[in-house]
Amino acid sequence: MSEILEPIVLIDYEKGEEAHIVTYTVNTFEEILYAAKRINQDLFNGDWQLSYLDESKESVDIAKEEILETYLERDIHSFYWAYREKRKKAPQQNGGSQAASARERVRKRWRGSEGAQAANRAPEQQTEKQGAPTKVRQIKRKKYAHVGKRVIAFWIDWLILSVMMAMLFRAGPVAMWLMWLYFALTESSKHQASFGKRIMGLKIEHSDGRRMTFMGATVRFFARVLLGFGAFIALFTKKRQTLHDLVTDTIVLDAEE
C-alpha cells in the first residue's frame, strides 16, 4: 500500500461536508489535513479533532503523527472531523517512538519503489510541509440532490414503468415484481441511478461513498414502498434524505459532470 496513492474521505461532521482526496499512504494525518485545509479553507477548522468510527460505531481519536497506511491496512478509508458522539481516546504510544519508527520504515520502503517514481510524474497539486509532501490529486464535495429534481425523476421513472406494464398487459403482483427489478437493477448498476435519475443527473450511494449492491438496492426499494410517506422529510434533513434513505443509509447526489 505504501507504494501507491490511495483515495480517502475526510468528513467535516459539524458542517455536513465531505472532501474526497487521493494522497500518499506514508503521510501523517497532520500533513493530509494541512493539504485539505489549503484547498477547503472553510472546512476542518478549530483544534485537532480527527477520528474514525470503530465496529461499534464509536468515535476513536486519531493522533496527528499517525500515518495513513496503518488505517488503510485495517480497511478504514473514512475519517471524521468534529464528530460529536462519544469518543474513545487513541491508544498511547511510548513518546510516539512506535509511530515514528513505523513511519520511517514505511518511508524508506516507499522512496525506492517504482510507485514513488510514477507518482512524482503525475500531474497533481503539491503542498509542502515538514516531512513528506502531501500530494492532492482530487478534492470534491458532494452536492445533495434538490428535492424538486428527485420528484421529476420519480415521475419519469413512473412513466417508463407505466409504458412497460402497458406493453406487458400486467398489473398487481407482476407489476410490483417489475418495479422491484427495475429499481434494484438500475440503482445497483455502474450508473447508480434509475433512468429517471440519470436523466435528471442524479445518482445514489451509501453515505460513506460505497455503491449499492443488488441486495442493498432491493432493501431500499421495499423500504421506499413501506415508508414512502416519509419522503417529505427530505425538505428538512441536512443531506436531503427521505425516511427510506435514512433507514438504508443512502444519499441521492447530483452526479459529476
Burial track 194-221 (b if 16+ CB lie within 10 A, e otherwise): bbbbbebebbbbebebebbeeebbbbbb
112-138 pLDDT per residue, tens: 544 445 544 544 444 444 444 444 444
C-beta neighbour count of 150 within 10 angstroms:
20
Q: Which residues contact 42 (CB under 8 A, 6 or more apart)?
A: 15
Contact 8, 52 (CB under 8 A): no
Burial track 163-183 (b if 16+ CB lie within 10 A, e otherwise): eeeeeeeeeeeeeeebbeebb
CATH 3.10.20.90 fits 5-136, yes or no: yes
- All cell numbers assigned to 51: 477520528
Output the pLDDT for position 2. 42
pLDDT, tens digit only, all 257 positions of the chain: 445 788 888 888 887 888 888 888 888 898 888 888 887 778 888 889 899 988 888 889 999 889 888 898 888 989 999 887 655 555 544 544 555 555 555 555 545 544 445 544 544 444 444 444 444 444 456 788 889 999 999 999 999 988 888 887 666 677 888 899 999 999 999 999 999 999 999 999 998 888 999 999 999 999 988 988 888 888 888 888 999 999 999 999 988 64
Length of the chain: 257
Closest CA to 194 of 162, 150, 164, 249: 150
- Helix axes of 214-227 and 173-187: crossing angle, nearest 10 degrees: 130
**In angstroms, how far is CA 17 from the centroid of its own chain?**
10
Question: Where does the chain hold its CATH 3.10.20.90 domain(s)?
Answer: 5-136
Tell me the β-bridge partners of 127: 134
Closest CA to 234 of 246, 224, 221, 226: 246
Contact 165, 179 (CB under 8 A): no
Contact 8, 78 (CB under 8 A): yes
Output the pLDDT for position 135. 45
C-beta neighbour count of 97 within 10 angstroms:
9
Output the pLDDT for position 159. 94
Backbone phi, psi, residue 12, to 5°: -85, 95
Output the pLDDT for position 210. 87
For residues 43 and 37, give the distance between their C-alpha atoms in angstroms, rounded to a whole number.
Answer: 6
Q: Which residues contact 12 (CB under 8 A, 6 or more apart)?
A: 18, 19, 43, 44, 81, 82
